[in-house]
Amino acid sequence: MKKFINMIMIAVLSSVITGCSSEINASLNTEEIKLKKEDKVEAEDNISVQEDKKDTVWLERKSLFQIDATDGIMKYTVYLFSEDERRAILEEDSAKGKKGDSYFTGHYSVYLALKGSKEAYKQEALIDSSEMSFNPSKEQVYTQKMRNKTIISIFQSKGENLVKGQLLAIKDGAVQRISTEKDMTTTSKAKIKTINQKYLQTAQKKSDGWVISTWLFNEEAHSMSLHDQIELSEENHSDIDWMNLWLKKEALYYPFKNLALSGDAIEKAKQGIPLGSPFPIGTNISEIKKSDPNFVEEGFEGGSPFVMYPEITYYYERESGNVTAISIPGQRVRTSMDEITAMFGTPADVREVKLSGETISTYMADKYSILMISDLEGNVSKIVLKKIKNHAGK
């Protein structure tokens, strides 16, 4: 019976929802970010000059990390250097790394230079920091691109498989810390994920599962706030092992609440337009993959080929390649059938799958049908938009 319900959902799948704000575009991976004029910093001598400076050629030899960074149209090089740096070789495997790895400890400072400049100036970003330790074979320092700005993430070990980070970025010609309302703690098994140029995502292991946190970057305030958070229990039953995918694939994030129900959703569905995607039903899958090659998975299920992205899955005809069904995870709306019924009325059909306890509620939209798959508690786990077969030629 479980296989039967999976086949129903495959031949079907979703999106009758609309973006909760103009800031969050439904197709997160394919959105083209157009920078506003005010985002572009004028090309002037935009660097905060300090008395403590070093030769960049010398820093290239001595610094542990060198990072290319941008702020608007300005390009910089950031150096992480310690005057009292000590190097050790790990004698055994531990949370610090593997046996034989180099391990560096010291009081590290940040130096900033305009790209190609001969001089770099010491910054105050880490001036009050205690000693830090780095294993270059582990990714403790890396960058994210957020709109027109580079964010530098510096992580330190905080127990087994857990790291705590400091986020830096260039503002007003100086490297400054990005303030966070809570500690930026995440797993050491994977990098922070970038979402839609405005959001970051972290994952933290707990005794009975994982906590996935989504953070919103406020460029003007130079801050990172907790936008959304969800706990995934190891006992949760799901057709998708999200945590395994999250850890393995750098481009993958977990669906987060970024869509809200809209009263015109059914009218949009009548046109085959899934408001959770820029691609309507009938779009060729090759066009979608060309637009966004960072899909999570592709294959066949129940005889139907599919391409899955974190926020949406496309099902298509094997012969033509045209999309016939679209599915959006319920995590993106976090709504219930009570709320849906209040907005759209009584479904045309309701079927219960006794084996799993899931319920399929169907709404009609001319030559399309909308399926709401809900769990035992009435929470929507998947929203589906499909083309009705007997309308295929219309």
- Condensed to tens digits (0 to 9), the pLDDT of residues 131-153 reads 999 999 999 999 999 888 999 99
Q: pLDDT at residue 350 above 70? A: yes
Q: What is the mean pLDDT of residues 299-319?
A: 91
Alpha-helix residue ranges (DSSP H) falling in 11-92: 56-62
Q: pLDDT at residue 255 above 50? A: yes
Q: Distance between CA atoms of 171 and 125, rounded to whole angstroms? A: 11
| 263 vs 336 pLDDT, higher one | 336
Q: pLDDT at residue 270 above 80? A: yes
**What's the chain's Rg over C-alpha atoms?**
25
Q: What is the mean pLDDT of residues 214-222?
A: 94
Q: Which of 70-79, 104-113, 282-291, 302-311 has the lowest mean pLDDT?
A: 302-311
| 279 vs 32 pLDDT, higher one | 279
Look at residue 8 and give its three-state secondary structure.
helix
Q: What is the mean pLDDT of residues 269-287?
A: 90
Counting residues of the chain whose pLDDT is more than 90, the rounded percentage is 59
pLDDT tens string 311-340: 899 999 999 999 999 999 988 888 999 999
Q: What is the mean pLDDT of residues 164-191?
A: 93
| 265 vs 323 pLDDT, higher one | 323
| 182 vs 282 pLDDT, higher one | 282
pLDDT at 50: 63
Give the CB-side neighbour count of residue 393, counting CA atoms within 13 A. 1
Residue entry with tokens 């970010």:
33
Highest mean pLDDT pick, 37-41, 44-48, 275-279: 275-279
Q: pLDDT at residue 198 above 80? A: yes
Counting residues of the chain whose pLDDT is more than 70, the rounded percentage is 84
Q: pLDDT at residue 252 above 90? A: no
With b for 16 or more beta-carbon neighbours within 10 A and e for fewer, the 123-141 pattern comes to: bebbeeeeebebbeebebb
pLDDT bracket for residue 238 (50, 70, 90): low
Q: What is the mean pLDDT of residues 226-243?
A: 78
pLDDT bracket for residue 127 (50, 70, 90): confident
Q: Distance between CA atoms of 164 and 194, rounded to whole angstroms? A: 17
| 12 vs 66 pLDDT, higher one | 66
Q: Which of 50-54, 117-121, 225-229, 365-369 has the lowest mean pLDDT?
A: 50-54
The pTM for the full model equals 0.78
pLDDT tens string 84-119: 999 999 999 988 889 999 999 999 999 999 999 999
Highest mean pLDDT pick, 249-258, 269-278, 360-369: 360-369
Mean pLDDT of the chain: 84
pLDDT at 260: 83
